[in-house]
A and B are shown apart, each in its own frame.
Chain A
Amino acid sequence: MDRRSWLKLSAAFGAAMFAMSGAQAQDTIKIGEMNSYKNFAAFLEPYKKGWELAVEQVNASGGLLGKKLEIVSRDDNGNPGDAVRMAEELVTREKVSFLIGTFPSHVGLAVASFAKEKKVLFIAAEPLTDKIVWDQGNKYTYRLRASTYMQTAMLVPEAAKLKKKRWAIVYPNYEYGQSATAAFKQLMKQAQPDVEFVIEQAPPLGKIEAGAVADAIAAAKPDAIFSSLFGPDLAKFVREGQTRDLFKGVQVFNLLAGEPEYLDPLKDEAPTGWWVTGYPWYAINTPEHKAFADAYQKRFKDYPRLGSIVGYATVQSAAAVIKKAGTLDTEKLVAAMKGLTHSTPLGNITYRPQDNQSTMGAYVGKIGLKDGKGVMTDWYYADGAKFLPSDADVAKMRPAD
């Protein structure tokens, strides 16, 4: 090639680069959102509707700092590597002010590590792992939802009340299930020293051999069962256990099983009498929640799931912190997150300054049947603030910012 063609080529190349970088004027506030939409569609479709509704509401009431709020959303493919790449894209190309979202714990932790390294605020919406605010917590990462530990702690008082001695535990074999089990055993031993854990079953996530697991648990003759199964594993366990009379005279506690995402598919086979954490959207009558639920149903012609709440509240947190900071400067935003309090459909929440965990709670109740559908009965709202370890314990676990 002669010199002229080289020049032409480089010019074309430069132009292409420029076009790709998409120079744009900033008349909106952009927030980057990432989630594993395809991998966890059952939870995340309602989640997406939730944040869409919140964005519409924020903008209808005049936006933030005089600008419109815009969420740039990406599918991270349920994969930490892709998630970090998406985060890079959002930050460098889309020039978002900060990041929100993520579902599985390992993706949440990867983005948290990215946030710390690149000094970007990250509000983790859903990842339940305790590590994201404790062992591996960092200054730039905050978490909205009640963690595995918190939700387990919410069930323990009810479990301890029963004075059952022989407990069986079943959990999906990955970090969430392991943490839930560890927390449950630790908290139960404190609450009821004579407790005995007679069998532990750890089926692979999504691949439970429910019949065999149910029979193995039955063979251990437990008085009660603590389970952290969810999704298809839960549905299979419920059906096989019922057919095999596993639950007759055995009290079951199951994390998350009251969430509509997991309870509704069970239809009339919802296991009545189980203690669960969840979301009884049909029965919550606070004005905040009613306003949300009505707006949601009007907008989407569908009832809200827990995902809807998480998506909605995440954007509420984002909006609240922008309002409080009055700027999009990261360090100011991060500072504003400390102790940030705002209202959500579940009531007021606060991002604790000591560990960046929000005090969003969960509903604790028993599963009942109504019109051939599972519902939560005898439920109450467990405020997250009451189910966290002492500040001293937190300080021990969490590295300094």
Chain B
Amino acid sequence: MLANIVIQFMNGLAGASSLFLVAAGLSIIFGVSRIVNFAHGSLYMLGVYLAYMLVEFFGRSSIFGFWGGVLMAALCVGLIGVVIEIVVLRRIYRAPELFQLLATFALVLVIKDAALYIWGAEDLVGPRAAGLRGAVEILGKRFPQYDLALIAIGPVVLGLLWLLMNRTRWGTLVRAATQDREMVGALGVNQSGLFTGVFFLGAFLAGLGGAVQLPREPAQLALDITVISDAFVVVVVGGMGSIGGAFLAALLIAQAKAFCIGIGDVSIFGTVFSFSKFTLVVEFVIMAVVLVVRPWGLLGKQQGTQRGTFMVEPPLYPLNRNFWLAVLAVVVLLGLVPFGGDGYLLVLLIDIAVFALFAVTLHFLMGPSGMVSFGHAAYFGLGCYGAALALLKLKLPMELALFAAPLAGGLGALVFGWFCVRLSGVYLAMLTLAFAQIAWSVIYQWDAFTGGSNGLVGLWPSEWLKDRTVFYAFALLLCIGGILFLWRVVHAPFGYALRAGRDSALRADAIGINVRRFQWFGFTLAGTFAGLAGGLFAFSKGSISPETLAVPRSVDGLVMVLLGGVQTLTGPVAGAAVFTWLQDSIARNTEYWRAILGLTILVIVLAFPQGIAGFTKQVATRIGVMRREAA
């Protein structure tokens, strides 16, 4: 028994090391540049691949060959980070908040296809570490020598980072910039040099985290996504920008996983509870608990306010006659499609309409309410499942079942939102992610009720809606209705109150607005309409699966909103249309469609840092089509 506990503890220690390295890199990059780097997992993946290649090159059987390859791989990844910083990110530091996230998302796509092109699709199982191939005896159990080395690497890197941060001028600057980015600029320090250096360090750590996993982790193309969510969780649980916190959190999470596995099945009051299944979601449960109890992570400090990078949003464009005429024109145009276009165009437009509604609900949170959600798909997915279960289990007719969609989405948002609005910024975003993952894992595992990973099928609309044109009209009506309603809400006192809370919570409070309560209602409203989008999605596809509330769907939503432009109401619609259409047409025609999609997004990002709608608006204003904002 004792031996088992000790061994699982050591497994936890070994697992924590690489996690810590990646998370520390992410944390440092975020701390200084405030960039939520989605591509960090891709850098890790490159670390594993490059280590595979370089260890082979230097000779896998010599100790020098192995460690030399690992170190070289990490250095290469560091340099790749530098290139990314200089070529892409440097151009968009002054874009609206989170816009950089879009660029890093594009990089994920590009790097994944690049890796596929270079290393092929087959999993590459790396060699064992030279000199550390075997195992040692601990309490009668065999424990891998290499894992002992890993256990040592974590604290060593932590110590080196501490020295770097606390004993060098550069480290002092990094810490100062983490506290207050403007201040460093004011001190006359070369900011771009500092940022490039930070990116090198962060990417190097990600690459090292990947490279040291070579003997334990086959190089493969899904690593990026697997690792990025773990790394985010560790960074947030530890406290953004805190390296020590990242270490502590990595330990906590790796230990929790090891012990869940070690405990196995436990029978509680006659029902067997499988802790090993719990590893699917344990890190997110930990994150949710930590964030609810300690809103800035274990060792984090409240983030200094972000001046400078935050572009002030222009006042709302009123919903005047011109606006309604434009809406009418779009509706008429869409109404003409069934007469001219083929059936598939209708299908594509239904998808676009559904995603546009979804994106608008997310924008409602991110824009007017000032709450970024990384887990917005939860409400979309709950809507899907609400409608599906109402149809299949309650045997409600489809029209009524569709009502269950906004209800389920809204109810989920009501519960999760209550916790989320207590936080702000990236912490809020991560708590939404945690809740989304928890909801996902319940649906994913609850086979008897939700159909588990397979999902639910046979969700087709009622007879009168089966005709594609009729369903098109139906879906369009609801989506456009929902979008217009949300836009009205933004222009209504409720929406103004949300924007007031976002612009200045202090002032809003001082004029009698209960900011949190409004945020909570706003969150619920957004969830309700996201649920409606989900319900329509379910009936347009005939089947749903846990994918509908998984991370990629949330990320798609973010990409749509950011691509269109957070600062304009129409942005998310434009973003949804462009993204869905791009994905559809590029995926159809090219083999490396992910890379092309990524590159296209990069071009858009670099060309229009205010998003597509922001750009169109600018042009329209310049050529005088639109009234210039009084300025």
Contact = CB atoms under 8 A, between A and B. Distances in A.
B225 to A, nearest CB: 9
B458 A113 contact: yes
A42 B121 contact: yes
A106 B144 CA distance: 38
Contacts of B552: 79
Contact of B342 (A20, A112, A210): A20
A343 interface: no
A142 B216 CA distance: 40
Contacts of A37: 591
Given A92-B343, A178-B452, 9 more contacts: A17-B340, A44-B121, A80-B455, A81-B541, A84-B543, A85-B541, A93-B342, A106-B545, A215-B4
Interface stretch (B135-143, B173-181, B409-417, B499-507): B135-143
Contacts of A44: 121
Contacts of B125: 235, 239, 265-267, 269
8 contacts: A80-B544, A89-B347, A106-B455, A110-B541, A114-B542, A206-B222, A212-B12, A216-B264
Nearest to B146: A243
B509 interface: no
Nearest to B592: A38
B495 to A, nearest CB: 30
Interface in B316-340: 333, 336-337, 339-340
B218 A235 contact: yes
Interface in B415-452: 444-445, 447, 452
B447 A175 contact: yes
B454 A175 contact: yes
Contacts of A88: 343-344, 347
A77 interface: yes
Would you call the interface of chain B mostly helix, strand, loop, or mixed?
Answer: helix
Contacts of B113: 38
B277 A174 contact: no
Interface in B281-308: none
Interface in A218-255: 218-220, 231-232, 235-236, 239-240, 243-245
Contacts of A38: 112-113, 116, 593-594
B274 A200 contact: yes
A113 B543 contact: yes
Contact of B7 (A13, A21, A136, A215): A215
Given A20-B342, A211-B14, A215-B4, A80 B541 contact: yes
Interface string B141-153: 1111001000000
A204 B587 contact: no
A383 interface: no
A54 interface: no
Nearest to B113: A38
Q: Is the interface of A mostly helix, strand, loop or mixed?
A: helix
Given A75-B587, A93-B343, A106-B547, A200 B276 contact: yes
B279 interface: yes
Contact of A110 (B121, B457, B537): B457
B279 A110 contact: no
Contacts of A240: 144, 216
Interface string B456-470: 011110000000000
A88 B344 CA distance: 6
B547 A79 contact: yes
B313 interface: no
A156 interface: no
A110 B277 CA distance: 25
B587 A17 contact: no
B457 A41 contact: no
A216 B144 contact: no
B17 interface: no
Nearest to A90: B344
Interface in A103-131: 105-106, 109-110, 112-114, 116-117, 129, 131
A57 interface: no
A41 B447 contact: no
Nearest to A248: B142
Residue of A75, A84, A211 ringed by the most chain B CB atoms within 10 A: A211
A79 B545 CA distance: 9
Contacts of A235: 123, 125, 218
A244 B258 CA distance: 16
Contacts of B221: 41
A374 B11 CA distance: 28
A213 interface: yes
A245 B340 contact: no
A81 B216 CA distance: 34
A45 interface: yes
Interface string A175-206: 10010000000000000000000011111101
B141 A136 contact: no
A232 B454 contact: no
Interface of B: 4, 7-8, 11-12, 14-15, 112-113, 116, 121-125, 128, 134-135, 141-144, 147, 215-218, 220-222, 226, 257-258, 261-262, 264-265, 274, 276-277, 279-280, 333, 336-337, 339-345, 347-348, 351, 444-445, 447, 452-455, 457-460, 537, 541-548, 552, 583-584, 587-588, 591, 593-594
B277 A265 contact: no
A74 interface: yes
Contacts of A70: none
B457 A212 contact: no
Contact of B279 (A41, A114, A200, A203): A203
Contacts of A116: 458
B172 to A, nearest CB: 38
B453 A232 contact: no
Contact of B122 (A202, A212, A261): A261
Interface string A56-76: 000000000000000000110
A112 B337 CA distance: 28
A212 B11 CA distance: 6
Contact of B134 (A14, A79, A203, A243): A243
B455 A42 contact: no
Contacts of A93: 342-344
B533 to A, nearest CB: 12
A115 to B, nearest CB: 10
Contacts of A216: 4, 8, 261-262, 264, 276
Nearest to B588: A74
A114 B44 CA distance: 39
Nearest to B109: A38
Given A13-B336, A20-B341, A244 B143 contact: yes
B223 to A, nearest CB: 8
B472 to A, nearest CB: 12
A198 to B, nearest CB: 10
A174 B452 contact: yes
B544 to A, nearest CB: 7
Q: Which 7 A-B pairs have the closest CB atoms?
A: A41-B121, A17-B340, A21-B342, A92-B343, A174-B453, A113-B457, A110-B543
Contact of B545 (A14, A16, A80): A80
A113 B122 contact: no
B64 to A, nearest CB: 22
Nearest to B593: A75
A200 B116 contact: no
Nearest to A264: B122
A77 B257 CA distance: 30
Contacts of B216: 210-211, 236, 239-240
Nearest to B342: A21
A120 to B, nearest CB: 12
A148 to B, nearest CB: 12
Contacts of B134: 243
B135 A209 contact: no
Contact of A207 (B147, B226, B264): B226
Contact of A131 (B454, B542, B583, B588): B454
A204 B134 CA distance: 27
B454 A265 contact: no
Given A106-B455, A200-B274, A200-B276, A81 B344 contact: no
B345 A17 contact: yes
